[in-house]
Structure 1
């Protein structure tokens, strides 16, 4: 591994990378994970010869200064064991710091995505508990954190997950109308799994919602387009294929045309 002058280059690299990302995130509509990956790519030595130790040092310096992006990246590294030993307690600490310090950040601000996803992460940890950090499982707190991300920040992934909670006995209580409402909010932001679940509910009909085959198929077609090439493609296509196999030919045609006309609305998500 190549070495560098630790403090000067690490600090400069961290400052440059964070400034660079702050400039490009709005234009490219990146997710928190995308932004963190860009930070990793910029500092990992591929272009600048920065060593792994210097990379972590740069992140830690930026984290000490309260940079949410650095805190997010460190949390992700310790959560997944990427370049460091896996440590759920440390990961929880970094994500919790973002949530605690930026709970009232502007919902549409540059860092809103990272803050919202940190609430989701901390909620996940509270669902199971973090024994190494002395954090017991607290399902009510888990739900509250997820709801904050979904309501205050309007985070699509959080909204999708709230929709799922309304389909589970141990979630927020089975309520098809509430579930469809949250799926709809996320679907209109381009969340492909939310589009698929909403489409499935509308196509088949559920308690309180009459079957709407054309609109349901439209959302299923949109989810097929949005999920292509992702790990979610198989389950989305399974829902679409099942619905298509029993749909009327004219409904399939009308739904496909609607999906094609609406798809450009989600191009920038």
Structure 2
């Protein structure tokens, strides 16, 4: 008599995980990172009755099967110590696996955001090094990884970080014009901190860039709205308040009207 295959909670959780990965793919408004969060919520013990061990096993099985979303979830868990002991070496390993296996993935593919952000994570790790993984600090490699995420994938966060590096003597070489270029790319994708830094730069002017108070205030107003309720709100509001306090009343009014007319462009970001 043929025996029925064994069925465990862990295998059930793996099946749920895989189905979520497949279901999330066609939803264009949802990023792969969002899908990974949905996977975590679905498998959460409080929400679905799946134990922490089964949840971890499900993610590990999905990661072993080559699912980038599972690797991403594991990487963030080990990076932040969420449900597991914090382990930078393991986090680095999962992010590196994504980056190495998907470096030439379609820049606008379903999982492109996770791949691009894995390059950003790798850049952060190489900047400081990961002693537990035997990885020494390598600033040049850190910059190269960020630039790949910023150029090939067009990742807004990477573009913002590259923009900042062009304002640092120990970054990519002090170049305000290059910084403004990269900040503008990220700002036009709705990155609120890039909008704030670009706005501050344009409002005040900087070497090679003449002050443009109305456009600068416009970006600062947009940033204020997009960063509202986030951990970045305080620093954004500080830049906006400082600029507003010295701006001409008509410039403030024109900038606010311009920001209001442009804001719908960022609704989908």
* Residue number in structure 1 paired with 2:87: 87
Q: 1:27 offset after TM fit, Å?
A: 2.5
Residue 177 of structure 2 is aligned to residue 177 of structure 1:
yes
- State how far apart, in whole Å, the 2-side matches of 1:96 and 1:5 are: 30
Q: How many residue pairs are counted as aligned between the two chains?
A: 263
Q: TM-score, normalised by structure 2?
A: 0.95
Q: TM-score, normalised by structure 1?
A: 0.95
- State how far apart, in whole Å, the 1-side matches of 2:47 and 2:200 are: 46
* Residue number in structure 2 paired with 1:63: 63
* Residue number in structure 2 paired with 1:16: 19
Contact 2:10 2:55 in 1 (8 A): no
Q: SS at the partner of 1:23?
A: coil
- State how far apart, in whole Å, the 2-side matches of 1:77 and 1:221 are: 35
Contact 1:21 1:39 in 2 (8 A): no
* Residue number in structure 2 paired with 1:155: 155
Report Cα offsets for 1:69-97 as digits up to 9, x if no partner.
00000000001111111110000000000
* Residue number in structure 1 paired with 2:258: 258
Q: SS at the partner of 2:169?
A: coil
Q: 1:127 offset after TM fit, Å?
A: 0.5
Task: Out of 48-57 and 197-206, give the one that drifted further.
Answer: 48-57
- State how far apart, in whole Å, the 1-side matches of 2:254 and 2:151 are: 33
Q: 1:31 offset after TM fit, Å?
A: 6.2
- State how far apart, in whole Å, the 2-side matches of 1:228 and 1:5 are: 45
* Residue number in structure 2 paired with 1:237: 237
Q: CA RMSD in A?
A: 1.2
Structure-2 change in CA distance of 1:31 and 1:10 (3 Å) = closer
Structure 1 residue ranges without an equivalent (≥5): none
Contact 2:221 2:259 in 1 (8 A): yes
- State how far apart, in whole Å, the 2-side matches of 1:223 and 1:7 are: 44
